[in-house]
Amino acid sequence: MMAVESTNWISVGELAESFAADPNLLARNGDLAGRRLDLSFEDGEVVTYDFVSPEHLRVGDDETQESYLATSIRPGIYFVDFVRSGRDAGTSVSLVIDLDRGVATAVIGRMPDAAAAHGDILARAQRREELTLVPTAFRAATIGKPHDPALPHHAPTGELIGLRIQHRYSPHELYEHIYLNEKRYAWHCVEGAEVGLADTDRCHYYAIDKELFLFVWREKIVPTLGVCLIDLAALKTTGKIFGYADDTLTKLVNFPTGARSTALNRTRYVR
């Protein structure tokens, strides 16, 4: 177990080392191997994902085979994650593929370059800009036919707001989250490499199924993109964390996460 002073921020690469022995990861799922899925997005773009094997896929007409990880937190619902290495290299792609409903959601993100990442956070606040420098797009898609807005696409939700929950990744890594409002959540490392650290960051929530949510966060101090599915019925998660491997901000790291969760309480806000 890594230990740091509670005032120290660490790189995403150091965090990945601490999470390397995460025993609560869901196993790789190979159900999609051998399938080609056409995702038709709202803007008319159609992207084909060719799952060549349980470990590799191709995107569109790009001949590069990307390494991916697929997990299934519920039957028929898959979390597929990879970082582009061919065309659009360095782009993080996370897909929530919902075969039963025939819909999908794509979360597309990138890291800022080193010059932007070292910019002045106070100056951004004074310009009324986003404090996080991790740009992320959310794209709704229909699977296997032209985009159909009448289908039950995954949609933003406020159902998590007010919930305080702990996520146990390993015997040494325990975090708590408080989902504060539509745009912000607070995280606190109770045990682990970031013990004692806490912050409030930009986040996004989407309803996937009953008591199943897509949760995405974008940090502002150390550039970080987190994407996960939270199953409140089974009290487990599956997801990933993406960022820079070290403080030089030259090499990317993308690692899977999985947790067993404990709901602590819920605050009902009076409005």
Q: Of 105 and 3, which is predicted with more confidence? A: 105
Give burial (CB, 10 Å; 0-12/13-18/19+) of 122: exposed
- Nearest of 150, 173, 166 to residue 22 by alpha carbon: 173
Query: 14: helix, coil or strand?
Result: helix
pLDDT band at 44 (very low <50, low <70, confident <90, very high): very high
The span from the CA of 197 to the CA of 205, in Å, is 23
Per-residue pLDDT tens digits for 238-262: 999 999 999 999 999 999 999 999 9
pLDDT of residue 87: 87
- Nearest of 42, 268, 260 to residue 158 by alpha carbon: 268
pLDDT of residue 3: 47
